[in-house]
Amino acid sequence: MRSLLLKAGATCLTVAATALSALYVTAHLKNPAAPLQPAVLTSSQGAQVSALGGKLTVGPSVTPSNVQPVTSTYAS
Amino acid sequence: MPREVGLEAHEFEALGTSCSVFCVGAPHPRLVEAEHWVRSMGARLTRFSEQSEVGRLNAAAGRWCAIGPQLESLLGESLRAYEMSGGLVNVAVLPSMLAIGYARPLSEGRPVAAATVEARPAPALPAVLSIRPGSARLEAGAGIDLGGIAKGWMADRLVELLGPNSLANLGGDLMSVGAGPHGDGWPVSLAGTTLLLHDQGAATSSVRRRRWCGVHHLIDPRTGLPSGAGLEEVSVVAASGLEAEIVAKTALLIGPELAPAYCASHALAWWLSP
C-alpha cells in the first residue's frame, strides 16, 4: 500500500513538473516568427546571373555596382 | 583606368605576372616600397631558383632546413589549405609539375617535354612536411611548389604594409581593406561584373592559361596529372586573398557538379565557367 502511494506520488510529481515546464516555456517564447540569424546561404539563394559564358552567384555580403572597377581578378 | 581623387595606384611586373597596388590617403613611395617587398618575397619563395628559401628547402629534402618567419607562416598556411580543401590544394605537387615539364618559368620559354606517364598522386602534405620554429623538413623525394597559394598569401600581407584603405592585386589574386576610393568598397571586376569589396579578397583559378603540349599547370593531386574535372575557370570572393585562392582552386578541381555547393559554403561570391 505504501509503495503504491509512493509510485502514485512520483507519477503525479512528474506529470505536474512536465505540465508546468511546458506552460512556462510557452509563456516565455520570444518572437516565434523571427528568422534564423545569420541567414543560411545556399547556392540557390544567392543572386545568380549568367556572365561571360558562366554562372555568377553573388552572396549578401558582396554588393554589385555600376561604377568603373579599379582592377579585376583574372587568371594569370 | 580613371584615377580617383586621393587614390594612388602603381603597376609593375613581378612573380611572372602583372601586379598592381592601390591606396587611398597614403604617399606614392609606399606603393613603390610594396613593389620592392613583392620582388623580395618572390625571390625567396620561387621554386625555380636553387638559391631561394624554397629552393633550398626542396634541395634539403630528408633533413631539417632553416627557414625564415615568412616561409614558416606560408608553410603553416599550406597545411591549412590542405585541410580546408580536403587535400585538393596540395603544395607537394612539385614532382608532378616536373613530370609535365614545368621545370622553369614560362617567361624563359615553353616546357620542352610533357612526360605525364611519370606522374604519380601527390603524397598527403602533412605526411611529408614538418614545421617547427625556424625550420622545416620535407621527406626524402618530396618537393613543394607554393605557386598555387603564394600570391593570395602575399596580397593579404601586402595590404597591411600599404595601409588601412588599400588593395593589392598580384596576378589576379587580390586583397582589399578599408572602404575604397568612394567609401562604399573597392570596385573590382569579376567576370565582367563590378563588385564592391570591403575587407575581402578575390582570386581566379583557370586551366586556360599556362598551357603547353596539350597539358596545363593545374595539377589534381589525386592523380598527379593536370586537372580534367570539367570546369575551365573559377573566380571567387572570400574573406581573404588566400582563402579565395584556395576555394577557387578547390572548386575547379572538384568539377561542375560539386563546385556550386562547395562555393556556397566557402565563398561570398563566385563565378563558374565550364
Closest CA to B87 of B223, B236, B230: B223
Of A55, A59, A67, Cβ closest to residue B272: A55
Strand partners, B187: B196
Render each residue's pLDDT in chain B as its tens digit; 274 residues: 444 558 999 999 999 899 999 999 889 999 999 999 999 999 999 999 999 999 999 999 999 999 999 999 999 999 999 999 999 999 999 988 888 878 788 777 777 665 555 668 999 999 999 999 999 999 999 999 998 899 999 999 999 999 999 999 999 999 999 999 999 999 999 999 999 999 999 999 998 877 777 777 788 999 888 888 789 999 999 999 999 999 999 999 999 999 999 999 999 999 999 9
Inform me whether the C-beta atom of residue A43 falls under 8 Å from chain B C-beta atoms.
yes
Domain ranges of chain A: 2-58
Cβ of B187 within 8 Å of Cβ of A75? The answer is no
Which residues, at least 6 apart from B208, have a Cβ–Cβ distance to it below 8 Å?
A75, B216, B232, B233
Cβ of B233 within 8 Å of Cβ of A54? The answer is yes
- To which residue does cell 513538473 refer? A17
Adjacency order of strands within the sheet including B186-190: A63-65, B193-197, B186-190, A71-72
Q: Give the 3-state secondary structure of residue B83.
A: helix
Dihedral-angle region of residue B63 (phi above 0 means left; psi in -120 to 50 means alpha; beta otherwise): beta
Of B7, B172, B272, Cβ closest to residue A74: B172
CA–CA separation, B102 and B98 (whole Å): 5
pLDDT number for residue B1: 47
**Domains of chain B and CATH, by start:** 8-273 (3.10.520.10)
pTM for this prediction: 0.82
Cβ of B172 within 8 Å of Cβ of A75? The answer is yes
Number of H helices and E strands in chain B, helices first, is: 8, 16
Complex confidence, ipTM? 0.84
